[in-house]
């Protein structure tokens, strides 16, 4: 995974968000912003283009998550949608899917795939 300046994580499970943050920090992420819900992210995301990479939990509300991920992709943010339910990942054709549970290698591979999809 190339060095990333600012990463967005929208995940209600704090331990999973911390695990993602740890793996990314070991591979070049300099700043991570974590929101526990899509609603919280909407309140604080006036300019999503400040992020280079985003991780979004799919189950946090399908319609709102689809809207948010489309907004992130339009802003040029490499976006990864995570879920333990592989069927819900099909709702996000514009984002890179990452099925839970995942290890560091799959997380980093998803980062590379998401960044490549923007080029």
Q: What is the pLDDT of residues 19-35, one digit of tens each?
A: 999 999 998 877 899 99
Distance CA 3, CA 25 (A): 9
Distance in angstroms (rounded) separating the CA atoms of residues 90 and 40:
24
More confident position, 119 or 84: 84
Handedness of CA 12, 54, 21, 42 (dihedral sign): negative
| CATH architecture of the domain with residue range 6-117 | 3-Layer(aba) Sandwich (3.40)
pLDDT surpassing 70 at residue 4: no
What is the predicted pLDDT for the residue at 113? 96
Average pLDDT of the residues of the chain: 90
* C-alpha–C-alpha distance, residues 108 and 61, integer Å: 25
Under a CB-based contact definition with an 8 Å cutoff, are residues 72 and 48 in contact? yes
- Helix (H) / strand (E) containing 57: strand 53-57
> What are 64-89's pLDDT values in tens digits?
889 999 999 999 999 999 999 888 88
Structure tokens at 47: 């300019």
Whole-number pLDDT of residue 64:
87
Taking the model in full, what pTM does it have?
0.91
For residue 101, is the peptide bond before it cis, meaning its omega torsion is within 30 degrees of 0?
Answer: yes
């Amino acid at each position: 995974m190339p060095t990333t300046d600012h990463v967005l994580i929208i995940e209600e499970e704090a331990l999973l968000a911390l695990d993602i943050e740890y793996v990314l920090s070991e591979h070049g992420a300099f700043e991570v912003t974590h929101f526990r819900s899509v609603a919280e992210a909407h309140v604080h995301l006036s300019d999503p283009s400040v992020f280079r990479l985003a991780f979004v939990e799919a189950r946090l509300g399908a319609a709102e998550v689809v809207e948010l991920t489309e907004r992130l992709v339009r802003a040029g943010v490499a976006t990864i949608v995570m879920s333990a339910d592989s069927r819900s990942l099909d709702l996000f054709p514009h984002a890179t899917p990452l099925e839970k549970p995942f290890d560091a290698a799959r997380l980093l591979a998803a980062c590379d795939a998401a960044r490549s999809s923007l080029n």
